[in-house]
Amino acid sequence: MIRLAQRHPDWVLGYLDEVWWSRLSQPHLHSWTDGKIPLRLVQHSRDKRDPDPAALACYGLLRADTDQVLLRFIEGRPVSAATIAFLEWSCQELGNRGKKALLLVWDNASWHVSARVKDWISQHNRKAKATGGVRILSCFLPVKSPWLNPIEPHWVHGKRAIVEPERTLTAQEVESRVCHYFGCPILDHIVIAKQVS
């Protein structure tokens, strides 16, 4: 797929994945200290009056051609309907940049391999072929092999970059820091009326 994308400048090889940005748990870090007091990142506790969720979910698509991550936060958890909404938005973004095909590499999460998502991709490709647009060629990674998806290290580094050792960030602060780190605009969340896989 990599060679195929390189032969077609209007095609994009993209790696898709979802991630949870916790407001409470701290990422694993290594750091130097003065030797007397070690740095310890302790999981924050949530105030019962805090209206924000403990974690925010988002979808990301790493473009192999630019190393840019297209990012959208979602309300709730990753499900088939949210996956479809993210794919639709991603294809629109890529189409606006003159692309004709997305060679999509992703894992076998249930909301990726669902009949609903497969049917949508099939219908989307028929429409894209007939009227123009970005077609999707899907390639699934082997089961339980997250290290094969190059977007995974981006998530790890992003979590380390937005960490706040002293206090719990608000959901808006987490979203703002994540978008700033990835150089993405802050967009409306993908909202799905009914959470169905």
195 part of a folded domain:
no
Q: What SS3 string covers 98-113?
A: CCCEEEEEECCCCCCC
Residue 31 lies in a domain: no
192 occurs within a structural domain: no
DSSP state of 76: S
pLDDT tens-digit map of 169-182: 899 999 999 999 99
Which residue range forms the structural domain that includes residue 156? 2-22+49-182
Residue at 162: amino acid letter? I
Whole-number pLDDT of residue 37: 67
* Residuewise pLDDT in 10s, the chain (197 residues): 777 777 888 999 999 999 999 887 766 555 556 666 666 655 666 677 878 888 999 999 999 999 999 999 999 999 999 999 999 999 999 999 999 999 999 999 999 999 999 999 999 999 999 999 999 999 999 888 888 999 999 999 999 899 887 788 899 999 999 999 999 999 999 998 764 44
Residue 133 is which amino acid? G
The answer to whether position 196 is within a domain reads no
Q: Which of 158, 165, 162, 160 is nearest to 173 (CA)?
A: 162
Q: Is residue 60 part of a domain?
A: yes
Domain count within the chain = 1
Tell me the CATH number at 126.
3.30.420.10
In a domain, residue 104? The reply is yes
Contacts of range 134-137, beta carbons closer than 8 Å, 24 or more positions apart:
134/91, 134/92, 134/94, 134/95, 134/99, 134/100, 134/101, 134/102, 135/100, 135/101, 135/102, 136/87, 136/91, 136/101, 136/102, 136/104, 137/1, 137/101, 137/102, 137/103, 137/104
Which sign, positive or negative, has the C-alpha torsion 97, 103, 107, 113? positive
In-domain check, residue 89: yes
Q: pLDDT value at position 185?
A: 96
Please list, in sequence order, all residues whose beta carbon lies within 8 angstroms of the beta carbon of residue 154, skipping any fewer than 6 positions away: 60, 62, 69, 182
Q: What global pTM score does this model have?
A: 0.86
- What tokens does 152 get? 């995974």
Whether residue 44 lies inside any domain: the answer is: no
